Amino acid sequence: MPARIDSARGPARPPDSRNGSAVQRGPAAHGHAQPGPSQPGHAPQRRSRSYGALDLGTNNCRLLIARPSPDGFTVVDAYSRVVRLGEGLLEAGRLSDAAMDRTLAALASCAEKLARRDVRLTRNVATEACRRASNGLAFVERVYQETGIALDVISAAEEARLAVLGCHMLIDTAGPPALVFDIGGGSTELMLVAPVGRDGQPDILDWISMPWGVVSLAETEPQWPSPEGRMAGYDRMLGQIWPWLDRFAARLAARGVSDVQLLGTSGTITTLASVQLGLPGYDRRQVDGCAVPGSELAALCRSIGLRSTAERARIACVGPDRAELIVAGCAILEAILTRWPGGQVRVADRGIREGILRTLMARDGTWMRAQ
């Protein structure tokens, strides 16, 4: 078996079927690597340690490796691959062999990067696909046996918390409460966040997790060849989202919240923002932290959603890899922008992985940013 990759929750171990997550016990139970030759003996050495954050979603497998820096942390390596782990999950209720094989290949690449960078402390999380699939736990165990990576199948609440922790620095502290949304592959989380948190930490006032993401929603509709079919299918996808947003909006109204600032994270919002900005290719430096008019972004969502797959594939920053699933993402985003209209939308090319890194470094005493 490959060398073990220690987790922030403790030494990597196979999953425990009692609770559906990787069991973590031992010296590293509070976010510290196990003692050993590489264990730093004093703070100056510890600052050069590399930390890893792996996010296995329903559609993507993403990894960040970073070291602490005066600005928080500096990324030293990264990896992202579309794996479509949740493909066919809505109908079958389980992960397919092909999807698991694709994902294992990506995770093997992540394990290689972690080993090459000598990362001794990491947290590896899996989200909606592994939560929902009947064979999710078996897949987690297989991942550990074949790659040495211990996946922590996190709850929707923890997923929301990490996403907010990773991007809340972009919230305008002088503005109204922020509505942070994370459009994933198998679910979408919306979080109401106070503009000013406590002790530098974001304060989540309320949240909701919808069982619709770009993969799960896309699988409810075929790729219609005619414009009329695409329009009807797009409207049906909107109809799946509206009841969830209406219920959440009613909860916000009960709190006396009528005005919010919108902050979006995930591949859907960053891709569409890059199209809205007219970029010839994706550029994180121009997208992360940018603000785009909500009304224009909503119109772009509908425009792209009603085009054919071939037409979408020719759009810069969309391409063939996102051409199919971007339609469901457009429908989810348009519904959010229509339900909370007006103003601009702040875009974050950061989220769960950054939230994990901040947590690891803070627990290890190496987080330097003054919050």
Number of structural domains in the chain: 2
Binned at pLDDT 50, 70 and 90, residue 46 comes out as very low
What is the torsional sign of CA 340, 342, 343, 347?
A: positive
150/174 same-domain check: no
Whether the per-residue pLDDT at 159 is higher than 60: the answer is: yes
181/37 same-domain check: no
- The pLDDT value given to residue 365: 81
- The pLDDT value given to residue 131: 95
Which residues is 25 bridged to in the sheet? none
Last residue of a domain, one of 86, 121, 154: 154
CA 55, CA 152: separation in Å to the nearest integer?
A: 10
Nearest-CA neighbor of 205 among 156, 155, 164?
164
Whether the per-residue pLDDT at 367 is higher than 50: the answer is: yes
What is the CATH number for 343? 3.30.420.150
Q: What digits encode the pLDDT tens for the residues 114-145?
A: 999 999 899 999 999 999 999 999 999 999 99
Binned at pLDDT 50, 70 and 90, residue 368 comes out as low
For the chain, the average pLDDT equals 86
Q: What digits encode the pLDDT tens for the residues 226-279?
A: 999 999 999 999 999 999 999 999 999 999 998 999 999 989 999 999 999 999
Residue ranges of alpha helices (H) inside the chain are: 43-46, 89-92, 97-116, 128-132, 136-147, 156-167, 214-218, 227-254, 267-276, 284-287, 294-305, 309-313, 319-322, 326-339, 352-363
Tokens encoding 27: 């010296």
Which pairing describes strands 188-193 and 178-183: parallel, antiparallel, or unpaired? antiparallel
Last residue of a domain, one of 109, 128, 154: 154
Residue with token string 């922790």? 165
Name the percent of the chain lying above pLDDT 70. 86
Total residues found in the chain within this entry: 371
CA 222, CA 233: separation in Å to the nearest integer?
A: 8
285/235 same-domain check: yes
Chain centroid to Cα 215, Å, comes to 13
Q: What 8-state DSSP symbol labels residue 201?
A: B
CA 145, CA 2: separation in Å to the nearest integer?
A: 8
Residue 70, SS3? Answer: coil
124/87 same-domain check: yes
Q: What digits encode the pLDDT tens for the residues 294-344?
A: 999 999 999 999 999 999 999 999 999 899 999 999 999 999 999 999 899
Burial, 67: exposed, middle or buried (Cβ in 10 Å; 0-12, 13-18, 19+)? middle
Q: Is 368 part of any domain?
A: no
211/120 same-domain check: no
Q: Are 312 and 323 in contact (CB under 8 A)?
A: yes
101/178 same-domain check: no
38/142 same-domain check: yes
Q: What digits encode the pLDDT tens for the residues 70-112?
A: 878 999 999 999 999 999 998 999 999 999 999 999 999 999 9
What is the CATH number for 96? 3.30.420.40
Q: Is 364 part of any domain?
A: no
- The pLDDT value given to residue 112: 97
At position 171, the amino acid (one-letter code) is: I
Q: What 8-state DSSP symbol labels residue 307?
A: S
124/242 same-domain check: no
Instruction: Please list the helix, strand and coil fractions of the chain in percent, rounded to the nearest 5, in that order.
Output: 40, 20, 40
27/117 same-domain check: yes
CA 312, CA 305: separation in Å to the nearest integer?
A: 8
CA 304, CA 44: separation in Å to the nearest integer?
A: 51
User: Residue 88 sits in which domain range?
Assistant: 15-154
Which pairing describes strands 15-16 and 21-22: parallel, antiparallel, or unpaired? antiparallel
- The pLDDT value given to residue 87: 93
Q: Is 8 part of any domain?
A: no
Q: Is 90 part of any domain?
A: yes
- The pLDDT value given to residue 48: 67
